[in-house]
Amino acid sequence: MNEFLGSLLPVRVEVALLVLTRVLALLSTAPPFSNATSWSSFRLPLGATITWLLLFAIGEPGWTGPQFGLALIPLVAMEFLLGALLGWIVASAFAAVRGAGDLITGEVGLNLASLLDPVTGTTTPVMSTLYQTMAGLVFLAMGAHRWVIAGLAHSFDRIPIGTFAIGADPVDGLLLLTSRLLEAGIVLAAPVMAAMFLVTLLLGLSSRAVPQLNLMDVGYAIRIAAAFGAIAVLLPTFRIGLESLFLTMRDALGNALPSTVK
């Protein structure tokens, strides 16, 4: 079996296994590849295809590591961790968008209305689902899915097979990146949150000017209508914010982890 696989691959089977591990780890953690959709069963064939193409691009790395055996297990674990960290960068960008939707949902008062989120498998507020859907469309329209694959391919130049090691620098870099992406989520929600503040202020002034106005009857509907109106008006701004967020994600895929190649 080993000889048969070796005849189909341009590198040693051990190298192909480690590359496949990194690829599958990213596909399992990075949206939209990790989404629990009907095509998720094709994740393994997709990972095998990407691996096969990457092997020709990487070429023979001059592998001097162990052959199949217990000594290969730590290397497989490190490759899986590296791929998961790359996927975490993409997942953090979408988490920032979901956080923006959660902030707006709480401000509008739509916490009771929730849908089953296919990404997380849990119930997610409607506004978060709307924001994630728009983010997914912008993600595909920008070709950001190709950036994810390009970042994965570039990682083999920066961190060759079997050279990744956990240290303070990768963790600090990823934590800093995550904080930046989450700050971007607050920025995405800020325009609508400001509009909702103005609506709340106007409703408060109206209740003082017209005490007969029952805000419990009309306030909830007005806030929902104002929220969706603000989203529609501010949609170009939201698109610009998403593009900036995904551009940050693209840069992070190539620079978040320190290179082992000097």
**Which tens digit of pLDDT belongs to each residue from 18-64?**
888 889 888 888 887 776 655 566 778 888 888 888 877 776 665 56
Three-class DSSP category at 187? helix
Contacts of 93 (CB under 8 A, 6+ apart): 181, 184, 245, 246, 248, 249
Backbone angles phi, psi at 210, to 5 degrees: -125, 85
| Strands annotated E in 95-188 | 114-116, 123-125
Q: What is the pLDDT of residue 1?
A: 46
Question: 57-90, pLDDT tens digit by residue?
Answer: 776 665 566 565 666 778 888 888 888 888 888 8
